[in-house]
Amino acid sequence: MPDANSLGLLLITLSCIATGLYTWRRIHYPSFWLVAGYPLTALAVRAAWRKVALGCGLTKKRARWWFTLTPGSIVSTGTVKVRRRFRRVAVDTKPWMWLPVPTRHGWRVTVHLLEGQVPADYSDVAERLAHSWRVHAVRVASPRPGRVVLAATMHDPLVRIDQLPPSGELLKVTVGRLETGKPWVIDFRTVPHWLNAGATQSGKSNLANALLVGLAPQPVALVGFDLKGGVELTPYGPRLSALATSRAESVGLLDDLVALMVDRMGLCRTAGARNIWQLAPAIRPVPVVVLVDELAELYLMADKSEKDEIAKTSTALLRVAQLGRAFGIYLFCCGQRIGADLGPGVTALRAQCSGRICHRVNDPETATMTLGDLDPAALVSARAIAAETPGVAIVAGQDGQWYRARSYYVAEQTAEHVARMYADRTPSWAQITETACTTEMNTADLNELLNA
């Protein structure tokens, strides 16, 4: 029997080990997870996979040769004689699972699909898998036929995020972090037009601030449409080449954008280029990023006298969305309420915006309008965004999938300071549009383009 001293020494040793592990986990969780947490988790997931698959309905019945107990005769004592027989029986077969691979915020594992299974079967039970494995969330991806990758996130990586990093590449801005731990990047060269929906205090304006701070140091022209009377974008005026604060001003500015687009068409046609990026740097025009705040105000009609103005505005904005990418004109449209009731122009514009961002919204139709043609599961996640998590959004990624993401917090004072700091890099709108007056397209052709 161990004496009291040995028992006390054992308790002290165990306490020291537990304290050391806890301190290690608090000071440097990534190394603790890779060395101590991941091996135990991988073994537990692998060992319990049969039970988890059976509970989630991911198993299939298959005939197997098996030893079974068959009841026989009853002896005089009342005992039933049994004997083992080797025969084919139906058993539950689990999908084959590889060994989990560690990631920064959890782990991922590849699973082989059984006959008749599709990746949607695993997407439907993703929440059940998360509860079975005691993790924050499970995402399902299918990199190749017959395989699914289950990515488990141990804890929500969007609870706290870092500061906004500087943007190094042209027209590419890191605005936040995805739920996978990877940076959330808005790249206008890859996805030229974006639709950003969100209710008040959802983080929609903060995302626009992060985008402006990232674009301000770059050699691009920023154009603003602020239908709140200019209260949102006017403080950033030193870095804006042009700003429209009413629908009447918006009509004129959109006409300038269309004329600029037509002029760049002629420039590319003369040089034999398909877009401005195939032009020589010496003659390449400056890219233009158009920031639209309160998109619905461009389409709302108080009386019939505004019908023609709205139609012209809608057509011009749609033309820019359809043809602007090749000529260096990109859209970032924001709105609290985006629905089909605003007219067919909004629906057509939505189809041209392949980049989708949906923050917390007040009505399901806005979420459906923003994400409805992507994935039904994205709608469920968008409606589950809590009001206590501003900046969290559902994002259609550049890889064709959707993710939960959160933008970096950028105070309005910070964005205003950056706008003043880089005011010297603001191209003059008059200089940008002066060549549009010399385009080969005459007035009749331009009016036809606007009203088509």
pLDDT in tens, 161-215: 767 677 778 999 999 988 888 889 999 999 999 999 998 889 899 999 999 999 9
- Side-chain-side CA neighbours of residue 401 (13 Å): 13
Is 239 domain-assigned? Answer: yes
Is 419 domain-assigned? Answer: yes
Report H helices in 355-398: 364-371, 376-383
CB-based contacts of 42, cutoff 8 Å, min separation 6: 99, 100, 102, 107
Identify the sign of the CA torsion 259, 260, 265, 267. positive
Using CA atoms of 378, 379, 385, 391 in order, give the dihedral in degrees to the nearest 10: 60
Is 75 domain-assigned? Answer: no
* Count of structural domains within the chain: 1
Does pLDDT of 244 surpass 80? Answer: yes
What is the rounded distance in angstroms from the CA atom of residue 107 to the CA atom of residue 112?
17
Q: What is the pLDDT of residues 205-229, one digit of tens each?
A: 999 999 999 999 999 999 999 988 8
Is 400 domain-assigned? Answer: yes
pTM of the shown model: 0.79
Does pLDDT of 373 surpass 90? Answer: no
pLDDT-derived band of residue 80, with 50, 70 and 90 as boundaries? low
pLDDT-derived band of residue 143, with 50, 70 and 90 as boundaries? confident
Q: Collapsing DSSP states into helix, strand and coil, what is residue 223?
A: strand
CB neighbour burial string for 420-452, b if at least 16 within 10 angstroms, e if fewer? eebeeebbebeebbeebeebeeeeeebeebbee
Q: What is the pLDDT of residue 154?
A: 86
CB atoms within 10 A of CB 223: 25
DSSP letter, residue 227: T
CB-based contacts of 75, cutoff 8 Å, min separation 6: 81
Q: How far, rounded to the nearest angstrom, does the alpha carbon of residue 393 sit from its chain's CA centroid?
A: 7
Q: What is the mean pLDDT of residues 383-409?
A: 85
Residue 396 near residue 354 (C-beta atoms within 8 A): yes
Q: For the ranges 62-76, 285-299, 406-420, which has the lowest average pLDDT?
A: 62-76
- Side-chain-side CA neighbours of residue 105 (13 Å): 20
Written as one letter, the residue type at 251 is V
Match 């695993």 to its residue by tokens: 122
Phi, psi of 278 (to 5 degrees): -90, 0
Is 208 domain-assigned? Answer: yes
Looking at residue 326, which CATH number applies to its domain? 3.40.50.300
Written as one letter, the residue type at 282 is A
Is 163 domain-assigned? Answer: no
Is 72 domain-assigned? Answer: no
Does pLDDT of 449 surpass 50? Answer: no
Does pLDDT of 247 surpass 70? Answer: yes
Is 326 domain-assigned? Answer: yes
DSSP letter, residue 226: E
Range of the domain at 207: 172-451
Q: What is the pLDDT of residues 83-130, one digit of tens each?
A: 667 777 778 889 999 999 998 888 999 999 998 999 999 988 999 999
Q: How far, rounded to the nearest angstrom, does the alpha carbon of residue 263 sit from its chain's CA centroid?
A: 34
